[in-house]
Amino acid sequence: MSDDGLSGAGNRKTALRLENVGFVWPDTGFELNVADFTLNAGERVLLIGESGAGKSTLLSLICGVLRPDAGSIHIGGTDITALRSSALDRVRADTFGIIFQMFNLLPFASASENVLLPLRFARTRKADAPRDAASDLLIRLGLPEDAVHAKAGTLSVGQQQRVAAARALIGSPPVVIADEPTSALDSATAAEFMALLVQEMTRSNAALLMVSHDERLSVHFDRVVPLDTIARSTRKSVA
Amino acid sequence: MSLLRLAFLSLLNRRGTAFLTVFCIALSVALLLGVEKVRNGARASFASTISGTDLIVGSRAGDVQLLLYSVFRIGDATNNVTWESYQEIAKRPEVDWIVPMSLGDSHRGYRVVGTTPDFFTRYQYRKDRALRFSSGVAFDDLFDAVIGADVADALGYSVGSPLVVAHGTASTGSGHDNRPFRVSGILERTGTPVDKAVHVSLEAIEAIHVDWRSGARVEALDIPEARVRAMDLTPKTVTAALVGLKSRIQAFRFQRYINEYEAEPLTAILPGVALTRLWSLVGIAERALSAVSLMVVFTALIGLVSTLLASLQERRREMAILRANGARPLHIAGLLITESGLLTLAGAMLGFAFVYIGLLGLTPWINDRYGLSLEIDLPTAYEWAILAGIAGAGFLAGIIPAWKAYRTSLADGMTIRS
Ligand SMILES: Nc1ncnc2c1ncn2[C@@H]1O[C@H](COP(=O)(O)OP(=O)(O)OP(=O)(O)O)[C@@H](O)[C@H]1O
Ligand SMILES: [Mg+2]
């Protein structure tokens, strides 16, 4: 899979592009500056970097949960930094499937309800999701059938990550963002999870931007990008 | 999954605190509503202490004063109405019926009312309820007495019991021991001052006083009963009279006629109007009670806000998940407002249930014990307004935690640092 991405990267459409983005965390004075970063449609990129370097902060900026202080972030054709916050939230719902390291789910809702959550806020994704898409996805990702309607809080960590993956994939968003999704799993489960995730990514043809410390996972990706090659981070002392 | 369902599931997840909050609100709502019910019941019972009577006539006095001594038997009349005036009024063509009342004596602390047997058919209370005898009959003999339910209970009298009427209204007044009466009938409980009265005939009142000259008993005039019975006992005066008119439309004109009566200064009052005025005087305590229960509701709502605020910290992750999946900060705020609205609504409804279940269980007892009739009808418009107001206040109370959640969800990003 990886050779296909490397050769075709240049003539693909861009999924998203960051230019001269600057962001400062007000409380800690941590500053992140990204000169230029592009993710192509359907491309799989592994983002690596030291702990505290700002990887999670960058993902939050990309999906519009945080707003940059400077620069532009283009998603498809639109600069999301220019959007009103309501429009930005909608773009996020329609564009991104998001998987965290852990604590992805609302523990009091069922697995399938968790999967359907983004459709509650999305517009274009909703049209893409057939009625039983949630349970289909969950089962394809290896969740036991009887766990589909179980409360998310009762599932094992590995099962919870599968539910999170299904939620990121439901309605085929163009970009999936994953922040160390396998770090809470043992290596066997992690490998199985990655294999299934990549299989589904291929199916939906979405781009994947994933953060991980585990460089063995790089076989699944078109590119490996160390954060310090695209961004500069500094820490100002806060008064 | 709708926001409402999300709020509901999240609440269910914290059902312990949620239940306590709901219970707290329910109790406060029940208190507010209960006070309201008792207030209305008390006012209604009070306003219908006397009904079916168009006018009450007495000597010149303030409206409230006349009402107090003629109906509530509180205080004394400063003057009486002469028998001549009474006769003339009774003969007026507008008058359908008239019942005299002669007050001023007592029996062991209970007021004695001299009247005619018509009193028992004409006096009505609570819209159209008539007096009824629980045992015995109206007075017939000169020394017969009809007593109210409280008198019978307190003194342990039954039909046939002897009783002695004292001159004056002090409970230890010197007795007219030589004129013993006999209980001929006992009235059913009404919740009105009738329960606390001893009713005798007008002539009996005269008979009590034949031995008396200007307020002191004259031993020499100790007249034997047989002679008293033979005497002319036509009263010289009455204290007040209940008047029923042939047509209620004439009430105001007839009232003016009495108030401008030439032979002596008289006053006529419309009982309903005077009762309302009296209630507005004594109703202050009742309003204070309402204010207190409103404060209790307010306190419960503050409790609600503080529980919601306390839950925010542990729910930051929930908020971050929602945000990452496309929820707007306004959705997050809406979630909290929905949640506090749901809690308040549940509390208010439970409170309503408490009150109505309580009423169903207690009304017969309250009616029996206090003569207070509480209505178990559907909630009034006012009560619906209270319910809506409290639910509204619950939604408003949600704004404070909602605002806080809105701010943190904007500041947190995707990863929560706790
Ligand atoms: N909510 C926040 N408020 C203030 N400062 C923050 C916040 N989150 C992160 N930071 C700051 O930003 C810096 C980068 O954090 P970030 O989580 O992006 O790093 P990371 O590369 O994802 O690290 P890790 O590999 O440990 O997850 C941190 O050192 C921290 O000081
Ligand atoms: Mg991180």
pLDDT tens track for A165-181: 999 999 889 999 999 99
User: Across chain B, what does the average pLDDT equal?
Assistant: 84
Identify all chain A residues contacting B413, using CB atoms and an 8 Å cutoff: 56-57, 60, 65-66
User: What is the position in ligand 1's atom list of the atom closest to the CA of A53?
Assistant: 21
Closest Cα in chain A, distance from residue B398 (Å):
21
Residues 207-226, chain A: which have Cβ within 8 Å of B? none
pLDDT at B413: 65
What does the buried/exposed string (b/e) look like for A112-130 if buried means 16 or more CB atoms within 10 Å of the residue's CB?
bbbbbbbbbbbeebbeebe
A2 assigned to some structural domain: no
pLDDT at B52: 86
A8 assigned to some structural domain: no
B245-266 pLDDT tens trace:
999 899 999 999 999 998 899 9
A127 assigned to some structural domain: yes
Chain B residue closest in CA terms to A26? B411
Distance CA A83, CA B227 (A): 111
Say whether residue B16 is in contact with chain A using an 8 A CB cutoff: no
pLDDT at B303: 87
Could A63 and B414 be called an inter-chain contact, meaning their C-beta atoms sit closer than 8 Å? yes
Q: Quick check: B366 and B42 in contact, CB under 8 A? A: no
Task: Give the count of domains, chain A.
Answer: 1
Identify all chain B residues contacting A122, using CB atoms and an 8 Å cutoff: 326
Could B415 and A94 be called an inter-chain contact, meaning their C-beta atoms sit closer than 8 Å? no
Say whether residue A168 is in contact with chain B using an 8 A CB cutoff: no
Full residue range of the structural domain in which residue A163 is found: 14-235
pLDDT at A204: 86
- Cβ A28 under 6 angstroms from ligand 1: yes
A133 assigned to some structural domain: yes
Q: B329-370 and A85-95 are packed helices; what angle lies between their axes, rounded to 10 degrees?
A: 100
B154-175 pLDDT tens trace:
999 999 998 877 666 554 444 4
What does the buried/exposed string (b/e) look like for A149-180 if buried means 16 or more CB atoms within 10 Å of the residue's CB?
ebbbeebeebbbbbbbbbbbbbbbbbbbbbbb
Q: Which amino acid is at A161?
A: Q
Query: Structural domain boundaries of chain B?
Result: 2-46+283-414, 55-269
Closest Cα in chain B, distance from residue A134 (Å):
13
B57-109 pLDDT tens trace:
999 988 888 998 899 888 888 889 999 999 999 999 999 999 999 998 888 88
Residue A82: CB atoms within 10 Å = 10
Q: Minimal CA–CA distance to B160: which of B149, B144, B178, B173?
A: B144
Residue A57: give its domain's CATH number.
3.40.50.300
User: Across chain A, what does the average pLDDT equal?
Assistant: 87
Distance CA B53, CA B32 (A): 34
A4 assigned to some structural domain: no
Q: Looking at the predicted structure, is the pLDDT value of residue A5 above 70? A: no
Q: Looking at the predicted structure, is the pLDDT value of residue B393 above 70? A: yes
Which residue's CA lies nearest to atom 25 of ligand 1?
Answer: A51
A138 assigned to some structural domain: yes
Could B10 and A106 be called an inter-chain contact, meaning their C-beta atoms sit closer than 8 Å? yes
Chain A residue closest in CA terms to B10? A108
Identify all chain A residues contacting B317, using CB atoms and an 8 Å cutoff: 103
A187 assigned to some structural domain: yes
Chain B residue closest in CA terms to A25? B411
Say whether residue A94 is in contact with chain B using an 8 A CB cutoff: yes
Q: Looking at the predicted structure, is the pLDDT value of residue A8 above 80? A: no
Give me B141's structure tokens. 């003999």
Q: β-pairing, B144-147 with A223-226?
A: unpaired
Weakest mean pLDDT among A3-12, A19-28, A155-164, A182-191:
A3-12
Q: Looking at the predicted structure, is the pLDDT value of residue A62 above 90? A: yes
Distance CA A53, CA A136 (A): 37
Say whether residue B339 is in contact with chain A using an 8 A CB cutoff: no
Closest Cα in chain A, distance from residue B317 (Å):
7
Q: Which amino acid is at B233?
A: L
Say whether residue B322 is in contact with chain A using an 8 A CB cutoff: yes
Identify all chain B residues contacting A109, using CB atoms and an 8 Å cutoff: 1, 6, 9
Distance CA B290, CA B261 (A): 44
Which residue's CA lies nearest to atom 17 of ligand 1?
Answer: A56
Q: Looking at the predicted structure, is the pLDDT value of residue A7 above 60? A: no
A72 assigned to some structural domain: yes
